[in-house]
Structure 1
């Protein structure tokens, strides 16, 4: 299916002109976004995604979007899409702005809001590589889901070049951080651990739900303490004494079966976490 776009109360085709050339999201990456999976015509965990969208906007210095307008756009693109719709993207930018980084004065700002729907399907397993680039946990936009995605484009392009589908990064102090579009979970010694937010990783919605749902049923999944997961812990995955899983809005919880081109086993806790997430997802599409 093609991409369906909504903005300013109407639908657009993927080839129709929409954003002005001076949109600050285009010229300097001044914007935030959310990606949701779509199941049975419903955007999964939309309320949580909208909450994070507002948090990212405010963190970037933008005004939080009108939630009613966003929900209107979501309903419109899903209704106009075919049965294969599986992915939704909500983008908010600073709107028209100067060619440089500063924005127009507040009275002159007109933010742009776009909602897009298209195809997308979760991956049952993930294949990842390590890359030499790092996340800056002290960045001004650490933990915000911004449209400034060039670093991720470079890293995931390298992953695809090497036959993988995701790259996993350290932060500047050598801690395990995250993937380019996913959070990471490390299974060892009977626990499934995910890096803390202090590592600079995004507060992923799938990550958040897995922590909550695991706690409710007694599955040993927790946020690691700062410094507990070093990047070189991935050597243990290659050796077979630890296991890895990635989580994200489209891949859900996805055990890793290849790291740096070496086949690795999916860990039992990784598989159980995947099963738990799929079961709870079916119970409530807006948890």
Structure 2
């Protein structure tokens, strides 16, 4: 298969399945995984997220065996000996039923050190589905489009009160001026990130906090984290150096913890 997808319970060729285009671009719940040599990283955590988020939205429970088959078969078909990205969507396009769809995209290398900007529009804050990974969130979309225009790797979203909530595709960790790791209080409405949760489960000590623009500018380190890219040091923020302007020691430590968590996950599934 040149471009496989998972649709209606089995692998298909995307070019031969035009009926999947509308739900793939429509509303729903998503989780996005890194694939390494035919296997998804953090697969159990992705399945758990879909269960949790579907329950939060009042959707019918997803079948773990089907999600597991989707991730295993699609990852092996698309990237048997390389890296890639796999997305699972619970489509809610039809009001009468949900549809489980899997799609893939190639792995594109990104800078090891990121630039970030504070978005000029606010995060809308916690809603009824706070913590869930929705397929489309207007403030994320608008901030990403702005980020493409100005040229940065990540846009940081503050709420109307000036509290940092999250990036458009990552959770954010700060190392404050005394070396304490802090991340935005989840009650402010950030996605419950698999990458951040994996670091905490691996023993990274960090505290939820209310963080403001001044905290970002005074931080020793800023680290963006998601399950696909892992911890990425932010070395420039709003055209100024973030921290020292170089990757810091905490970012390196978190990267090692993240990689160990991936390898331990693979070993536990054998």
Give the TM-score range, shorter chain.
0.7 to 0.9
| Aligned partners of 1:166 and 1:179 also within 8 Å | yes
For the residues of structure 1 that align with 2:24 and 2:2, how far apart are their CA atoms? 26
Listed one character per residue, the Cα deviations across residues 75-99 of structure 1 (whole Å, up to 9, x for unaligned) are 22122214334211100022423xx
Q: Does 1:87 align with 2:74?
A: no
For the residues of structure 1 that align with 2:29 and 2:99, how far apart are their CA atoms? 11
SS of the residue 1:142 aligns to:
coil
Q: Which residue of 1 aligns with 2:162?
A: 174
Q: How far apart are 1:266 and its partner, in Å?
A: 2.1
Q: Does 1:262 align with 2:240?
A: yes
Listed one character per residue, the Cα deviations across residues 199-230 of structure 1 (whole Å, up to 9, x for unaligned) are 21111111011112134xxxxx31224x3x22
Q: Does 1:144 align with 2:132?
A: yes
Q: How far apart are 1:25 and its partner, in Å?
A: 7.2
Q: Which residue of 2 aligns with 1:7?
A: 7
For the residues of structure 1 that align with 2:21 and 2:222, how far apart are their CA atoms? 43
RMSD over equivalenced CA pairs, Å = 2.4
1:230 aligned to 203, 212, 217, which one?
Answer: 212
| Aligned partners of 2:37 and 2:82 also within 8 Å | no
SS of the residue 1:255 aligns to:
strand
| Aligned partners of 2:186 and 2:208 also within 8 Å | no
Higher relative contact order (CA 8 A, sep 6+): 1
Q: Which residue of 1 aligns with 2:105?
A: 118
Between 251-260 and 12-21, the greater mean CA deviation after superposition: 12-21
| Aligned partners of 2:30 and 2:133 also within 8 Å | yes
1:73 aligned to 70, 74, 78, which one?
Answer: 70
| Aligned partners of 1:193 and 1:224 also within 8 Å | yes
For the residues of structure 2 that align with 1:286 and 1:55, how far apart are their CA atoms? 25
Listed one character per residue, the Cα deviations across residues 75-133 of structure 1 (whole Å, up to 9, x for unaligned) are 22122214334211100022423xxxxxxxxxxx2211101223225642222111122
TM-score, normalised relative to structure 2? 0.87
| Aligned partners of 1:126 and 1:255 also within 8 Å | yes
Q: Which residue of 1 aligns with 2:179?
A: 190
CA shift in 2, pair 1:248/1:164, >3 Å:
same
Deviation >4 Å, runs of 4+ = none
For the residues of structure 2 that align with 1:75 and 1:18, how far apart are their CA atoms? 23
For the residues of structure 2 that align with 1:181 and 1:115, how far apart are their CA atoms? 19
For the residues of structure 1 that align with 2:186 and 2:169, how far apart are their CA atoms? 15
Within-5 A mapping of 1:46-65: 46-65=43-62
